[in-house]
A = this chain, B = another copy of it.
C-alpha cells in the first residue's frame, strides 16, 4: 500500500498514539429512532413495561418510553471502537458507568473519550489505555459515561514509553450518584400487574439469588445485526474469513450482546427493576459464539434507599451469565477460578419502585 492510500483508510491508533489528557471526538453521531427500539426489542426480547409502552411510562412520570439503557450504552460504545480499540488485543474492563439522562426516539447521540491513563506493558509490545467515554444528546446533556481500559498494540516496539498513569477506579458507584436518568416517579401509578410481577424494591433481600430460568440461543445473524445496529465496527464480530484463521476459528459475539441478553432474561425475577442506573463493572470471563445458549442468574448484593427521593430504591445486583448451562444451582466459582460455563460477571445498580 502506498502512503497516499494508507492515508485514506485509517489503520487506527496504536499505544504510542495516545496521550493522557487527550480528548477524542468520535465519528458518526446517530439519531435513535423507533426503528432502533423495535430491532433492539426483537433481538433481545426485553419485556420491561417502562421501555415497552408509552402509556405505562407516561403514567408514572416519563414523557414517554425511554430507550433501553443498554441500547444507549451500546451506541456510545460502538462509536468509541474505531478510535480506541480497533487495535486492541483485549478489552480488559470497564467501570463507573453512569446513566445520566434518559434517551428518547428522536434524540441524537454523539460520543467522545478522554485518555485518563496509560501504562506500557513490560514486554514493550503493548500497553493499557484507560479512557473516560461519554455520550451526549443533541442538547449537549450527558446521557452515559464510563471508564474502559483496553490493551492496545504498539506500532513500534522501540517507541518511548509514556510516564505510567493508572486512574483510581471505584469498585462501585455510591448510591448518591445514581438516578439522574430517572425522573421522579409516581409509584402509585406503577401497575405491578402490567409490569409482570408484584415485587417492589423492599421485597428483595441482600444475598437473595434468582435463577432467571430461560435460555436464549444466539445466531450469527442476530449478533451481527445487533452489533451493526450499534455501528460497532470491531472486526472480530463480522469477518469469518479472517476469524476462521484466528484463535477461535470463528466470529466472536460482542460482549455487550451477552449483557443485553442477560438483562432481558433477568425480567423473570427482576421485572420491576426497570432502569439500570449504573454499571459498576463487568468481566467477560469467556467468549460466546453463535450456537451457544445463554442462561443467567442474579444475586442481590446491596439494597439502598436513594438520596432525597422515595419513589424508587436502588438494588446492587450481580448477574452471572453462562453458556449451555442452566443456572438453577447458581454456578459461579470452581476451584481457583470461574465455573467453566460462566461467560459474564456483571455488577450493576438497578432502580425499582418502593
A residues sitting closer than 8 Å to B (CB atoms) are 1, 4-5, 7-10, 25, 27-31, 33-39, 41-45, 47-49, 52-56, 65, 82, 105-106, 108, 110, 138, 193-197, 199, 204-205, 208-217, 219-222, 224-226, 228-229, 231, 233, 235, 238-242, 251, 268-271, 291, 293, 295, 324-326, 328
Give, as a whole number of angstroms, the nearest-CB distance from A271 to chain B: 7
Q: Which residue of B211, B238, B328 is within 8 Å of A215 (Cβ)?
A: B238
Q: Which residue of B31, B65, B214, B293 is within 8 Å of A54 (Cβ)?
A: B31
Q: Which residue of B7, B29, B219 is within 8 Å of A220 (Cβ)?
A: B219
Question: Would B47 and A9 count as touching, CB distance under 8 A?
Answer: no
Beyond A10-B268, A38-B38, A108-B55, is A214–B235 a contact (Cβ under 8 Å)?
yes
Q: Which of A8, A55, A213 has the most CB of B within 10 A?
A: A8
Question: Would B36 and A225 count as touching, CB distance under 8 A?
Answer: no
Residues on B with beta carbons closer than 8 Å to the beta carbon of A54: 31, 106, 108
Interface pairs A-B: 6 shortest CB-CB? A35-B38, A27-B196, A33-B34, A241-B293, A221-B221, A45-B228
- How far does the alpha carbon of A231 sit from the alpha carbon of B270 in the complex, in Å? 16
Question: Would B53 and A30 count as touching, CB distance under 8 A?
Answer: yes
Q: Which residue of B28, B35, B295 is within 8 Å of A49 (Cβ)?
A: B28
Q: Which residue of B47, B225, B233, B242 is within 8 Å of A43 (Cβ)?
A: B225
Known: A9-B268, A28-B53, A219-B220. 15 other contacts (CB 8 A): A8-B269, A27-B49, A29-B55, A30-B52, A31-B53, A31-B55, A33-B34, A33-B37, A34-B105, A39-B42, A82-B196, A219-B221, A219-B224, A221-B222, A222-B225
Question: Would B217 and A9 count as touching, CB distance under 8 A?
Answer: no
Of the A-B pairs whose beta carbons lie under 8 Å apart in the complex, a sample of 20, sorted by A's number, is: A1-B328, A9-B269, A27-B47, A27-B194, A27-B197, A28-B195, A29-B49, A29-B53, A29-B194, A31-B53, A31-B54, A31-B55, A53-B108, A55-B138, A215-B241, A217-B220, A219-B220, A219-B221, A222-B224, A240-B291
Q: Which residue of B56, B209, B229 is within 8 Å of A38 (Cβ)?
A: B229
Name the residue of chain B whose CB is nearest to the CB of A223.
Answer: B221
Name the residue of chain B whose CB is nearest to the CB of A210.
Answer: B8
Name the residue of chain B whose CB is nearest to the CB of A264.
Answer: B228
Q: Which of A105, A106, A219 has the most CB of B within 10 A?
A: A219
Question: Would A217 and B241 count as touching, CB distance under 8 A?
Answer: yes
- How far does the alpha carbon of A228 sit from the alpha carbon of B45 in the complex, in Å? 5
